[in-house]
Every structure is written in structure tokens, then in C-alpha cells.
Structure 1
Amino acid sequence: MQGNIRENTQNRASDQPRFGIDAPGLVLGFAIGGPLLLLVSLTGWFALVPPLMWTMRCTGLVLCAEAILMTLSSLHGKRRVVRGMIESLQLRGDEQVLDVGCGRGLLLLEAAQRLPHGNATGIDLWSTRDQSGNAAAATHHNAELTGVAGRVRIDTGDMRQLPYADASFDTVVSSLAIHNLPTETDREQAVREIARVLKPGGQVALLDFRCTALYAQTLREAGLVVQRSWPEFRMFPWVWIVRGRKAAA
């Protein structure tokens, strides 16, 4: 009996979509480095040098806290913020939506669930440095588990050169993706591409923890009416959301 309960629990867990941990290498480094610093600071030699001992302990505690907060943000906080961002778009349900840097599909699938008569497209280069287990196959699997695979398309491509025609999408979204590009020029190019593929009257929402002032300025230069939110503290590091709307034709 207990074996059956355990098996059923494991099956239910495997039926849930999984979206990975953001910046897994950084989180792992914090999770290893923090306890290691605390352990080393407890050795007898460092007790003879109090300033160094307390510096190591404080640094170790900070690293441990950052590892915990970043993990909780990936597993819980980001989901709440992303859900609220999609809800704020007030989708009709028949739009064409693009998620730039879709990763394993958290934002993409939140949108797809609100598109009974539309479609959601995700594009990514599938870097596992930026998200654990990042792969097109994982995103397809999550779409199947969520029940929206029939209205989700997943592409491989560079956000600096989106493989879509001008004015292809009613809405373009992105979460924690554009900042990963190596230079400011690259990030500006990605945001210009987002504006290019957006239909007249369409809307954009870009969530990130840095570079959002640049995103807002680039969208304004592309002719969109733009607002940048207050910081959202349910994620760590905290994030801003840049929202914009393209003028109607």
C-alpha cells in the first residue's frame, strides 16, 4: 500500500512541467562557496585574525542567502511575477504571441494558456549556462504537460536576427533573456528586432533585472509608447518590466 502511494506521488510529480533554475552555475557557486567560507572561518588559525574571520563569515552568509533566494526566485517568485505580467496584457485569446529567449517555456506557456484561438511562438539558442536543462525538447515536453502543445511553436534562432517578417506578432514578451547578450549594441539590436516584428497596435512586455532603461529607450526610439515599472521584489535579484505599445497603422 505504501509502495503504491509513493509511486503515485512520484508519477504526479513527473507530470508537472519543470522550468529549471536561472543562472545555475552562479547558484551552484554560491551554494558551494558560502558554506565553504563559513567552514574555513571556523578553523583555529582564522580565530587569531578576527577581522579576517568575520569578513569570511559575513561573506559566506551572504553567498548562502543569495543561493537560497535565487533558487526560491526561480521556483516560485518568477512564476508569480510572470503570471501577473501575462494577465496584465489582457489578451483577447486570438493573438499571435512571440516569447524571445523562451527557455523552458514558463512565459511562453503562460501566454499559450490564454490563447484558445491563437498561437504562441518561442525562440531561443538553448544555453544551459543561463537556465538549467535548457533545450527545445524540454520546452516541447512542458507544453505537452500543460496541454497547449497544439498552439505552441518552438524555434531555434538568435534574437538579434529574428527569422520573422515585419509586423508578424500581436504581442512580444521576454523574461530574463536580453541581458545575456554580450554587449549593449547586441541588446539594442535585439530590442529593435522585437519592435520590427511587432504589428501596428501591438504590445510588448520585457522583464529583466538590468538593462531595462536601455530597453525602454530603444523602444521609444522605435516609435513605441513605453512605461517602465517600479522594481518587483518577488524575484531575486529584483526586476523591472518594460511595457510598450506600437502606434496603430
Structure 2
Amino acid sequence: MKSIREMDAPIGLAFFFGPALVIVIIMLISGFNTVSAIVALALVLFGLKYMHTSIIGKYKIMQSVVSNINLENNCKILDVGCGHGAFMLQFNKQTAKISEIVGIDIWSNRDQGSNSIEATQRIIDASSLASKIKLKTANILDAPFNNNEFDLIISSLVLHNLKPFEKRKEALEEISRVQEQKGQLVIIDIGYETGKYVHILEDLGYQNVNIVNAGYNGWWGTPLVPTFVITATK
């Protein structure tokens, strides 16, 4: 579990706590109002749920996903948008089967608090996977890798940051390019547009493409902003 300082898209809290604070200030000036108080309370609860998903819930989703992945021996893994390494570090119980994990990121503090290659390297160095992991500064829209290089590709809460949507399609095309034939793909992402990835992946030749709602642990404030898990094989 990460600290609040390192949570995903911390600016998102402003959408909940900001209006709640304004409502409270207005009530202090104008007097108590039941409806306003209920709205302010709801916004605070939504903000707390956002925090829960970012610092607890997403880890539970990753743990569940990784527990269902059976790695082949000498597996080479790519983590697209690795951030602080949360997803890749879930493979610590399968170290013997891993030849290498490469984590790439553009290290944006807007998308994740305290995000830097130096901070992530310190986390990796303290883990049991330290000898297996290499970090790179790279953009998935122009991945610096050979065709068919990775057996397993993972990505968590990254693709929705690419706008417009056409860039997400380009990212999936790059993922497909560097994905080994018969390799596995796992994408965790936010929002209902994630469903569009299914048809794109199928057009790229992926099979057994499956999408599931991650449920309560993936609610970013409210059920209206859910997290989905997509799995597929090349």
C-alpha cells in the first residue's frame, strides 16, 4: 500500500473535497441547510472512496490478477506505465520463472504523485525482484523494443491518460508489435471507454479477449468511474 502522497492522480481529490469545502463555507456564512449538508457529506465519502481505491483497492485488483497468471519459464515481462512498480512487484512469488521485467514510464507527477525513475528505483532496489527489473524512460507510443520481444505485457491505470482516444489505439498497436506470439496481455484501466479496447485487440489478432468489471475496489469515487480488467492472448 502506498502513501497518500504517492496516490494516483491526486488532483482527483479536488473534484470531491473542493466542492464539499465550498458548501461548508457557504453554510457557515448563510446557515445550516440539510440538503447542502447531505451533498457535502456525500462528496467527502466519494473522496474517501477515491483514496481507498488509489492506495488500497488497486493493489487488491493487481494481486487478484497476478494470482491467475501462470508464467512460462524464462518469461520476459513489459510493464507499460510502471509508475512506482506496484504491478510488476506483485510477481515476487514467481521470481524463478522470470528472466527480466522492463518497466517503462514518462514519469508524470500529474498522473501519479511523487512519480520519478529515481523514486521507483529505490522501491525496486528494496524488493526481491531487484535483480530482474530494469527501468526505462519511454513512451508506449514509440516503444524502444524489437518486434515480438515480450512474453507477458501488463499495464495498470495508464491508457486512459492518452488523449484523444486514437492515441490509445496507437498504444495498443505498439503493445501488439512488441508482444511475443502466444504471449499474454493484461490491461487494468478506468472508465467505460475501456470496452472499446476489446475490438481493437481482436483486430490486432489477439484471442480470448475478456473484460470484467473489477468491482468495489476499482471505484474511483463512485461506481460511475469503474475499473476494468482486460486479459488476452496473442
Q: TM-score range by the shorter chain?
A: 0.7 to 0.9
- Structure 2 match to 1:88: 68
Q: CA deviation at 1:67?
A: 1.6
- Structure 1 match to 2:57: 77
- Structure 2 match to 1:220: 202
Q: CA deviation at 1:90?
A: 1.5
Q: CA deviation at 1:66?
A: 2.0
1:127 and 2:108 correspond: yes
Query: In 2, distance between residues paired with 1:94 and 1:189?
Result: 28
- Structure 1 match to 2:48: 68
- Partner of residue 11 from structure 2, selected from 25, 29, 33: 25
1:243 and 2:205 correspond: no
Cα deviation digits, residues 109-139 of structure 1 (max 9, x gap) = 2135523242111111011011100111111
Change (3 A) 1:71 1:109: same
- Structure 2 match to 1:99: 79
Q: CA deviation at 1:33?
A: 3.4
Change (3 A) 1:161 1:204: same
TM-score, with normalisation over the residues of structure 1? 0.83
Q: CA deviation at 1:93?
A: 5.0
**In terms of mean alpha carbon deviation, does 186-195 or 208-217 score higher?**
208-217
Structure with bigger RCO (C-alpha 8 Å, 6+ apart): 2
Q: Which runs of 5+ in 1 are unaligned?
A: 1-15
**In terms of mean alpha carbon deviation, does 232-241 or 164-173 score higher?**
232-241
Aligned length: 225
- Partner of residue 145 from structure 2, selected from 142, 159, 164: 164
- Partner of residue 189 from structure 2, selected from 204, 208, 227: 208
* Maintained 8 Å contact 2:16/2:44: yes
Q: CA deviation at 1:108?
A: 1.7
- TM alignment of 1:28-43, pairs within 5 A: 28-43=14-29
Query: In 1, distance between residues paired with 2:150 and 2:69?
Result: 14
Query: In 2, distance between residues paired with 1:38 and 1:17?
Result: 30
Q: Percent identity?
A: 25
Query: In 2, distance between residues paired with 1:111 and 1:183?
Result: 32
TM-score, with normalisation over the residues of structure 2? 0.88
Query: In 1, distance between residues paired with 2:130 and 2:155?
Result: 19
Q: CA deviation at 1:74?
A: 1.5
Query: In 2, distance between residues paired with 1:230 and 1:126?
Result: 27
Query: In 2, distance between residues paired with 1:62 and 1:194?
Result: 40
Query: In 2, distance between residues paired with 1:134 and 1:113?
Result: 25
Cα deviation digits, residues 26-78 of structure 1 (max 9, x gap) = 2145334323422322433x55xx6xx72x43432232112211111121111
Cα deviation digits, residues 195-215 of structure 1 (max 9, x gap) = 111100101010012222121
